[in-house]
Structure 1
């Protein structure tokens, strides 16, 4: 007897349609997991073998690179600053996007869509579109990021010669450019040497005042020949060396940056330190960098004026330990209204210290696109890209250590007539202290005194200008 309540059995045609649909889905899934496998089992086997070999080779290379990076992070930095490797990766990602999308389309063809029922056919078309655009779009977006990064490496890093450590240290000159239109690269507004231990990354920041006068140049340099008795002309200060060289470029026929080269010869003559590389920061664009990384946390000890010195004060950065945006951080570093140059130098050291300890690899990756754009607009250096991995590694080591400072300012140094022997002895002493080869620096006399936003005063000195632990002085 026939059971009238039993569900009707599927016809042979319906079962066959479901089988064809599942087969088409399987081919799509195979292409997603192992590109070329669908062609290997049901299509052009030659194409399948080539695609599958490329896929497996890519996985193998990725695994080897991952293991190498885990064992030595400098490999990652080296690869990230190799423009030729980045170009190959960019081309590979674009080729991969096109090839993988083509394999999805071919897998859809192999699935014989015309034999599917209309609802199955529509589902396969939609799935194929999602997979094609999803996979290809992801790879193309990755290629776009690689291209941005490569352009950033080319724009930021220089083509200078690779130089070795001097007495176990790398000395990098950090120049803050004047924000005047069209002249920030010509007149350094702040000058700091980052003297870095070549093994440990332990760093000493040596600040030079822009108003230093009557100083010698490095022996044998162009400037030493022009000023054999030192930079003793009327109104000649350290930050004016660059301008003087810019007005006498004929004396520097082989130099691409006469102003910077002349400034380096002055700083080497003053400090007796050999400069490996220089880096120029446009202070007017500095706020873009801070904004790009989401701000910087600083201890604001007093209201810091925004504006002043010829312009109206339009507001204040209010006291407190807080995260400052780019505009506020710039004025914290630059403000001179109600303070002096040496207090400002102390605040600038605190900003450098905060950026060093707060700019983590995770922050860089999270804000990479904005950071790349900001830094290429406001940063240039003589350091070749091949050296970037070394200094990134040293910077990561420095983040876990104290940063020492020494600024060549009153009351230790008379900037109008500096005792160069005393300057050089104090620099060596600061370096020895950072390496544990000399007793620690004396504690600051008046901890409770704050002038111009910095602990200390003009007569007694500022704590952040001479410290074995810059974080504690800020």
Structure 2
């Protein structure tokens, strides 16, 4: 059959059966191979452009799939840079507009008035659905890419990546809790997370906020000021000389101790806490993340809440004195919104700091569990807006791809928890820091099992 006799380009317009069948072919081709309807029945120039764009998109998708299957860290790295995300956004916006043009032109080529009356609404409706599905998906993808780019720029720093130390990446995770009853922010949740750079095996070390006589690494300004430990000789510059007071003292009273902190994407108080955590655990800490616990409420609401198992009733306080109970979070499986999750993590009435540490870890793990692709994509705007206000970190953008890939490995393995609490032989009021470092070393670098004799 010659092209001139083709029923697609030169149909028998008097036959409703032929025109209806032709209409369905054009609609299906527009969905499967955008540009094909124009090549077969309309402007070949527009059709060739559409087909070329479709071929380019298929090629990019196949390449991305192969890279993701073979070298996932490479793909994560490429798509975690602001420049790449803007390029992706522009590309998706182009395809969104192109698919609208091609779909409307396909609807013109269909010539609905020549099709069977019973088929017209179905053909028009399916064509519209195709346009919404293709163009809408591309437009939303462009929106997500631009939002992600803004989120990365506001949270992560531009700087060189750091190498693992003895095969480990160590992170200081601080949960900051500012309030009207205190001067400045104090980290009420303090954890060091050590992750194996190859396997992703993670060890979390919980540091009680009320540890005393905290040491500092030799050669630091704080070690010179407090050679026997924080506040152990003549007290300190704040009301109590506890671990979490170090942030407040340095941030508000002695920021000159860390003159380069801000330029490096950190704060003097955070760097002081990093020094303290290194001296306590014996680990070199490459990166930190500070989470604003008050803003944490917004992030949990953006995620749609979190589900936790409450071991016993937990009070919600009516005021910042933590003495009057307004309501209770009952024991059992509970789905908590941001307000209740925050109070579950910080409640003090009739409870100990060690109970709070356990609840804070529970909330952190629940939040991580909520970060799945479907949840994040469906609520990306709210999550990104909340996250940019909640998180401060010195992890560079260039390392995000690697850490995203490493986090995928971590989620497949059981996490080892080391709590520096009395149950593990640690007295925060009179801590044995040599013993603490031994506990940490045994957890982070466990001895290899002895080979069995056959």
For normalisation by structure 1, the TM-score amounts to: 0.78
Structure 2: tracts of 5 or more residues without a match: 1-10
Q: Which moved more, 1:411-420 or 1:171-180?
A: 411-420
Q: 1:193 Cα shift?
A: 0.3
Q: What is the rounded CA distance, in whole Å, between the counterparts of 1:352 and 1:41 in structure 2?
A: 57
Q: 1:195 Cα shift?
A: 1.2
Matched, 1:419 2:418: no
Q: Which moved more, 1:366-375 or 1:53-62?
A: 366-375
The partner residue of 1:293 within 300, 303, 310 is 303
Matched, 1:241 2:246: yes
Matched, 1:392 2:404: yes
Residues 119 and 181 of structure 1, relative CA distance in 2, 3 Å threshold:
farther
**Size of the alignment, in residue pairs?**
425
Structure 1: tracts of 5 or more residues without a match: 1-11, 439-474
For normalisation by structure 2, the TM-score amounts to: 0.81
The residue that corresponds to 1:147 in the other structure is 146
The residue that corresponds to 2:94 in the other structure is 95
Structure 2 contact 299–383 (Cα < 8 Å) conserved: yes
Find the residue that maps to 2:14 and give its secondary structure. helix
Matched, 1:261 2:266: no
Q: 1:175-227: CA deviations, max 9, x gaps?
A: 00113269998421221001112222222211112222322222233333443
Structure 2 contact 305–338 (Cα < 8 Å) conserved: yes
Structure 1 contact 158–380 (Cα < 8 Å) conserved: no
Residues 356 and 142 of structure 1, relative CA distance in 2, 3 Å threshold:
closer
The residue that corresponds to 1:196 in the other structure is 195
Residues 42 and 170 of structure 1, relative CA distance in 2, 3 Å threshold:
same
Q: What is the rounded CA distance, in whole Å, between the counterparts of 1:299 and 1:154 in structure 2?
A: 36
The residue that corresponds to 1:383 in the other structure is 395
Q: Which moved more, 1:104-113 or 1:130-139?
A: 104-113
Q: 1:339 Cα shift?
A: 1.3
Structure (1 or 2) with the larger CA radius of gyration: 1
Find the residue that maps to 2:230 and give its secondary structure. coil
Matched, 1:273 2:279: no
5 Å-filtered alignment, 1:342-381, equals 342-356=354-368, 359-381=371-393
Q: What is the rounded CA distance, in whole Å, between the counterparts of 1:318 and 1:186 in structure 2?
A: 30
Q: What is the rounded CA distance, in whole Å, between the counterparts of 1:244 and 1:292 in structure 2?
A: 33
Q: What is the rounded CA distance, in whole Å, between the counterparts of 1:436 and 1:209 in structure 2?
A: 30
Structure 2 contact 178–185 (Cα < 8 Å) conserved: no
Find the residue that maps to 2:206 and give its secondary structure. strand
Structure 1 contact 303–316 (Cα < 8 Å) conserved: yes
Find the residue that maps to 2:315 and give its secondary structure. strand
5 Å-filtered alignment, 1:127-206, equals 132-133=131-132, 135-180=134-179, 186-206=185-205
Residues 437 and 245 of structure 1, relative CA distance in 2, 3 Å threshold:
farther
RMSD in angstroms over aligned alpha carbons?
3.5
Q: What is the rounded CA distance, in whole Å, between the counterparts of 2:24 and 2:352 in structure 1?
A: 73
The residue that corresponds to 2:38 in the other structure is 39
Q: What is the rounded CA distance, in whole Å, between the counterparts of 2:163 and 2:414 in structure 1?
A: 24
The residue that corresponds to 1:430 in the other structure is 443
Q: 1:92 Cα shift?
A: 0.7
